[in-house]
């Protein structure tokens, strides 16, 4: 296998390959659009039906005078539809069919099956696969070109990768919700997202993002707190930490790790912010704007790293801790955290001390990595920026993943990266997800993407 000498030549090659494979085309999931007259029709594989089976397509109108298409399995005694969809006047066509029980679109599942096959064709049997989705920005609105309930749908459909049997671990890297709904609504959305992502088959990670404390709603409503202290944590972390394969120091800071032979995957919390409310009911720190790590979490990380001899380590978090210039991205302690990771790779001994930050974020942590053998941190993987990017600083490869949240190009918040994808509802580019393939024998990390993502990025370990 050819490896490229630098990121730019590798990305040019990968983008060319993506175009050859037709992965950048935005063709909608558009089957059976011509059935607009109420009635019953027999359809089969020629109409791209689910699994190519025979169905009765029933076209009716609902109470809102909207055209509805339903798919009922041929010969079924129970006439309850298995798949339904409604004609959406906003986009002048039927939406993609979704499964009544699962809430997933069968055309998306077929697309993800094809993606899983392409991944399998490019990996070796002894490598480790981590499925990753990030920044779903779910909210309680039926949106066709931006954040909405499609965030939950993206999570449900991402789980299709589990059925392929290729995943050893899966991770959501935060910003589960947009945080702009009323508190009780956002909490309910979090519960639905948690339940959709949880698995008895594949170990999983629930990382916290900077939108997950619902501060966006508070910002637009006189900043009165809509989430109680630890609300996200109490919803998302207990079941995660109960998994037999997860290891941790404590359950309170959002840090833990999984081992797969020589590979150790550590996840951290870059929204480690104290919950402080003044007498007027206003939070001192807006979590949405205050990305940080604090002393207790740093102490846990030092403890884990101090027992990591013999491990190749990859770190997962919501936000990048430094940028490509090496500057702090977190408001507090991002650069210091990077320096701690570098100190580990250099087998250094020392002490962290920060005095130019608010007292809540001061660090007083000693570390001694001088006795570590046969181990190093090779990559830090995150979301948050709603782009794809990569840069290597002090031997650590930073890899940024694009948001799963639908970002139509007509919105001011949409990044240039996503505007170039021209993302639309019910198109392959609507969502984004990844499989990280860690091959320690070949010493490479492959990042495979679907939807609004590069097909494949390859990095040396």
In sequence order, the 6+-apart residues with CB closer than 8 A to the CB of 346 are 369
> Do residues 141 and 51 share a domain?
no
Tell me the CA end-to-end span of the chain in Å, nearest whole number: 15
In sign, the C-alpha dihedral spanning 399, 404, 409, 411 is negative
73 within 8 A of 50, measured Cβ to Cβ: no
Question: Can you read off the two tokens belonging to residue 283?
Answer: 């939070």
Expressed as residue numbers, the domain containing 375 is 7-26+107-460
In a domain, 377, yes or no: yes
Distances (CA, A) of 390 to 207, 314, 385: 21, 15, 12
Q: What is the pLDDT along the chain (461 residues), one digit of tens a residue?
A: 333 333 433 443 444 444 433 344 567 888 899 999 999 999 999 999 999 999 999 999 999 899 999 999 998 888 899 999 999 999 999 999 999 999 999 999 999 999 999 999 999 999 999 999 999 999 999 999 999 999 999 999 999 999 889 999 999 999 999 999 999 999 999 999 999 999 999 999 999 999 999 999 998 887 689 999 999 999 999 999 999 999 999 999 999 999 999 999 999 999 999 999 988 888 999 999 999 999 999 999 999 999 999 999 999 999 999 999 999 999 999 999 999 999 999 999 999 998 789 999 999 999 999 999 999 999 999 999 999 999 999 999 999 999 999 999 999 999 999 999 999 999 999 999 999 999 999 999 999 999 999 999 999 99
Q: Which of 51, 72, 95 is the last residue of a domain?
A: 95
> Do residues 168 and 86 share a domain?
no
> Do residues 113 and 155 share a domain?
yes
3-state SS, residue 446: strand
> Do residues 157 and 58 share a domain?
no
Residue 26 confidence (pLDDT): 64
In a domain, 58, yes or no: yes
> Do residues 52 and 181 share a domain?
no
Residue 409 confidence (pLDDT): 93
302 within 8 A of 343, measured Cβ to Cβ: no
> Do residues 173 and 296 share a domain?
yes
In sequence order, the 6+-apart residues with CB closer than 8 A to the CB of 455 are 14, 17, 18, 21, 23, 118, 448, 449
In a domain, 21, yes or no: yes
Distance from chain centroid for Cα 370: 35
Strands (E), 143-192: 169-172
> Do residues 141 and 248 share a domain?
yes
Residue 27 confidence (pLDDT): 78
In a domain, 101, yes or no: no
232 within 8 A of 193, measured Cβ to Cβ: no
In a domain, 332, yes or no: yes
Torsion-angle region of residue 434: left (phi > 0), alpha (psi -120 to 50) or beta?
A: beta
Closest CA to 209 of 142, 130, 248, 151: 151
391 within 8 A of 399, measured Cβ to Cβ: no
> Which CATH number do you get for residue 262?
3.60.21.10
Residue 5 confidence (pLDDT): 35
Q: Could you write out the DSSP letters of every residue in 36-85?
A: -SSEEEEE-GGGT-GGG--EEEEEEE-TTS-EEEEEEETT-SS---SEEE
Question: Can you read off the two tokens belonging to residue 12?
Answer: 């040019």
> Do residues 81 and 11 share a domain?
no
- Counting the structural domains of the chain, the total is 2
Distances (CA, A) of 431 to 153, 156, 208, 255, 423: 9, 12, 20, 27, 8
> Do residues 301 and 208 share a domain?
yes
Strand partners, 446: 437, 458
> Do residues 155 and 241 share a domain?
yes
Count Cβ atoms within 10 A of the Cβ of residue 366 and give its class: 0-12 exposed, 13-18 middle, 19 or more buried: exposed
Residue 394 confidence (pLDDT): 97
In a domain, 100, yes or no: no
> Do residues 146 and 78 share a domain?
no
In a domain, 31, yes or no: no
In a domain, 2, yes or no: no
Distances (CA, A) of 354 to 150, 289, 337, 350, 363: 42, 20, 11, 13, 5
> Do residues 196 and 216 share a domain?
yes
């Amino acid at each position: 296998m050819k490896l490229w000498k630098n990121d730019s030549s590798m990305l040019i090659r990968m983008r060319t390959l993506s175009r050859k494979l037709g992965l950048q085309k935005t063709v909608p999931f558009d089957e059976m659009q011509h059935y607009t007259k109420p009635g019953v029709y027999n359809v089969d594989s020629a109409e791209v039906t689910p699994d190519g089976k025979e169905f009765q397509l029933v076209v009716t109108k609902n109470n809102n005078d909207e055209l509805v298409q339903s798919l009922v399995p041929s010969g079924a005694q129970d006439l309850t539809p298995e798949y339904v969809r409604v004609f959406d006047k906003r986009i002048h066509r039927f939406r993609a069919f979704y499964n009544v029980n699962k809430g997933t679109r069968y055309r998306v599942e077929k697309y993800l099956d094809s993606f899983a096959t392409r991944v399998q064709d490019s990996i070796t049997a002894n490598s480790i696969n981590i499925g990753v989705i990030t920044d779903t920005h779910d909210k309680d609105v039926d949106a066709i070109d931006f954040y909405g309930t499609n965030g939950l749908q993206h999570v449900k459909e991402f789980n299709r990768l589990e059925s392929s049997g290729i995943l050893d671990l899966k991770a959501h890297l935060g910003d589960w919700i947009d945080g702009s709904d009323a508190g009780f609504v956002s909490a309910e959305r979090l519960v639905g997202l948690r339940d959709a992502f949880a698995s008895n088959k594949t170990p999983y990670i629930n990382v916290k993002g900077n939108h997950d404390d619902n501060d966006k709603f508070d910002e637009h409503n006189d900043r009165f707190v809509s989430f109680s202290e630890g609300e996200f944590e109490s919803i998302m972390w207990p079941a995660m930490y109960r998994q037999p394969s997860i290891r941790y120091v404590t359950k309170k800071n959002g840090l833990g790790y999984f081992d797969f032979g020589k590979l150790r995957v550590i996840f951290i919390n870059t929204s480690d912010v104290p919950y402080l409310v003044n007498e007027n009911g206003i939070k001192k720190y807006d979590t949405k704007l205050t990305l940080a790590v604090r002393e207790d979490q740093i102490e846990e990380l030092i403890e884990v790293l101090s027992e990591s001899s013999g491990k190749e380590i990859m770190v997962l978090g919501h936000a990048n801790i430094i940028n490509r210039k090496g500057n702090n991205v977190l408001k507090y302690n991002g650069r210091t955290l990077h320096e701690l990771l570098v100190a580990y790779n250099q087998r250094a001994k020392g002490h962290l001390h920060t005095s130019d930050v608010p007292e809540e974020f001061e660090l007083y942590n000693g570390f001694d990595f001088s006795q570590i053998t046969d181990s190093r941190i090779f990559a830090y993987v995150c979301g948050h920026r709603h782009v794809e990017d990569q840069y290597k600083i002090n031997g650590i490869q930073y890899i940024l993943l694009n948001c799963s949240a639908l970002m139509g190009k007509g919105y001011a918040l949409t990044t240039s990266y996503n505007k170039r994808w021209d993302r639309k509802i019910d198109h392959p580019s609507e969502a984004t997800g990844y499989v990280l393939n860690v091959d320690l024998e070949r010493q490479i990390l492959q990042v495979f993407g679907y939807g609004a993502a590069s097909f494949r990025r390859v990095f040396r370990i």
